[in-house]
A and B are shown apart, each in its own frame.
Chain A
Amino acid sequence: MSSRPPAGAAVAEGAAVPTPRRKVRSLEASNARFAYYMLAPALICMALVAFYPMVNTIVTSLTDTTFGQNTTKFVGLDNYTKLVQDPTFRTSIWTSVRFTIITVVFEFVLGLIVALVVNSSFRGRGVVRASMLIPWALITVISAAMWKLMYNQIYGVFNDILVTRVHVLAANVDWLGSPATALPAVAAIDIWKTTPFIALLLLAGLQLIPGDVYEAADVDGAGKIRTFFSITLPLLMPSILVAVIIRALDALRVFDLFYVLFGQRPDTTTMSIYVQEQIIYFGKVGYGSAVSVALLFIIAIFIAIYIMMSRWSVARS
């Protein structure tokens, strides 16, 4: 996964030998046809499963559709005006963003360490490689419920260790219940679950870096740390960027984890939970659809930031 010029640049096909204009054009046409055929299955699936529903959601956001109400009417941007003034929505954005930042940073750091360990000739690396997939193979909704047991204030194992055995804390903490520790506690679960995913992506990227590069660095006398920062990291940058943006998008849209652990609790309502609350729980389909579109918009902002950052990093290298 080398870093190439960003999307948009393409090279004309088969131009090694000069060919007559007509032949070049028909070659280009045949290439374009081939590309369309190759692209078609993906586009059809997407149109049906993703784009039609999304467009439907956008259209619904302009109406007052409500569960139980048999007539719907077009209300224009009413829902959006209400949304802008909605304090719960603003809080939910902030909760989602905080969750995203905490999880992506830690997942990246831990994932990188795990990938480096597995990629090296470190002695324990077999163990790390085997165990790295375990959190991810344990089904999310069940392991979330189990973490809830572990976090329990009275019989949870974390309190038992920290308070009763090691005496680091004075009294049992209600990890999930108290607002101050709820988000970090949930983030710890997500980090535990998703670090393997990041590690796998970064590992694939690490293994694409040819060994000669390291040999050259050693011959030049670079220490381990310097090798890491000036050689490994830049070469790994494309994989890092892919992993980070994918995780960030997933974290912004997180639903299962919060639904299982918190339900409709106001201080842990993320954007997706708010959407579920409005569309399904309250039956306010029109308004909830507007919230969905707003969620999409916020995610688009994050992607814009990412594109700017990736262009900047490519320009630097």
Chain B
Amino acid sequence: MSAATAATLPQQKRKPIKVGKVVSRALFFLLVGIILLYILFPFYWAARTSFMPDSDIYLTPVQYWPNNPTFQHYINAFSETTFVRSIANSAIVGISATAIAILVGASASYALARFNFLGRNVALYLILAMSMFPGISILGSLYTVLQRFHLYNTLYALIIVYLTFSLPLMVWIMQSFFRGMPRDLEEAAYVDGASQFQTFWRIMIPLAAPGLATVGILTVMGCWQEYLFALSFLLSSNKWTVPLAIANTGANQASAFQIPWGDQMAETLVVMLPLIAAVLILQRRIISGLTAGAVKG
């Protein structure tokens, strides 16, 4: 899929029919265009909705560009303390859960990938089995467990729950990552006198950094959006995470039946943009790390 190699091809390879090539390129552009439209249109719609008064949303003909644009929803979003506080809560929960999950998951994956010990297969299958549990099924029992440890209505509850449920994904990916690595480095380290832990910490983790970064991104995104557990385990509004705060936005509408679309869209967008920026920066790190080799970028 790389055009860079075309330049190194001998002359006789460049014999394709011009028309065919143009048509196929055009079709390809069209396909990518359609996919981009699919991906971006709802985002545009959310943005549009956040800039127009709620009552205009239900009018026909549909307004593709707001007839009465307004910033009021963004003002409302920032003046709602529950929402602003929830961003901090979500950030704490997401970062803590992901950081701990990476440590715990990488350790477990390394152990499962490189060592042979009694119960290894059982442990592997148990971890993977966890990805089969439907959240809704263990909700009641999990609530009881958290109550017993006095963790109900605390952010710690969410951190522990999120980190545990991101372990299967972490282990799935990291253990095949570790297994695919050559053993020369580890053997060299042992010969140099490094302990198993030092080998793990100083050699394997840096090598696995791209994989860890990928899984880290996936985990953070997941924590940011999770709704069911957050709804069930948090009672006070000052502990709410972002999905709860947005779903329960409503200082400004008159009745409980109404949904403040504009405010919700504004809040969703406010939360989304820094998140994407952070991920894009991290993503560049993955790609730059891997292009230190000879893989085409």
Listed in ascending order, the chain A residues whose CB lies under 8 Å from chain B are: 1-2, 4, 7-8, 10-14, 16, 28, 30-32, 34-36, 38-39, 41-43, 45-46, 48-54, 56-57, 60, 110, 113-114, 116-117, 119-122, 124, 127-143, 145-147, 149-150, 154-157, 160, 164, 192, 195-197, 200-201, 204, 207-212, 214-215, 218, 221, 224, 227-228, 232, 238, 242, 246, 249, 253, 255-256, 271-272, 275-276, 279-280, 285, 289, 292, 295-296, 299-300, 303
Contact = CB atoms under 8 A, between A and B. Distances in A.
A16 to B, nearest CB: 7
Interface residues of B, number: 118
Given A16-B187, A50-B165, A192-B42, A300 B132 contact: yes
Interface string B201-220: 00000000011001001100
Interface string B257-281: 0010100110010011001100110
A221 B12 CA distance: 10
Contacts of B128: 303
Contacts of B31: 113
A259 to B, nearest CB: 8
A303 B133 CA distance: 13
23 contacts: A32-B116, A34-B111, A42-B104, A46-B126, A54-B133, A56-B138, A57-B138, A57-B141, A114-B35, A121-B3, A129-B280, A130-B276, A132-B39, A134-B276, A139-B225, A157-B62, A196-B39, A211-B295, A214-B1, A214-B2, A246-B169, A280-B136, A296-B133
B116 to A, nearest CB: 4
Interface of B: 1-5, 8-9, 13, 28-29, 31-32, 35-36, 38-40, 42-43, 45-46, 49, 57-62, 64, 103-105, 107-108, 110-112, 114-118, 120-121, 123-124, 126-128, 130-142, 144-145, 160-161, 163-165, 167, 169, 171-173, 176-177, 179-180, 183, 187, 190, 196-197, 200, 210-211, 214, 217-218, 221, 224-225, 227-228, 242-243, 246-247, 259, 261, 264-265, 268, 271-272, 275-276, 279-280, 283, 286-287, 290, 293-297
A146 B177 contact: no
B134 to A, nearest CB: 4
Contacts, number: 323
Nearest to A65: B140
Nearest to A160: B62
Contacts of A300: 132
B295 A201 contact: no
Contacts of B32: 113, 117, 122, 124, 128
A253 B142 contact: no
Contacts of B136: 255, 272, 275-276, 279-280, 292
Contacts of A54: 133, 137-138, 141
Interface core residue of B57, B132, B134, B218 (most chain A CB under 10 Å): B134
A142 to B, nearest CB: 5
Given A42-B127, A255-B228, A57 B290 contact: no
B39 A39 contact: no
Contacts of B176: 1, 4, 238, 242
B36 A127 contact: yes
Nearest to B259: A145
Contact of A292 (B29, B58, B134): B134
CB-based closest 10 A-B pairs? A292-B137, A53-B141, A53-B138, A10-B116, A38-B111, A42-B108, A32-B117, A56-B141, A35-B115, A35-B111
Given A10-B120, A32-B117, A142-B264, A195 B293 contact: no
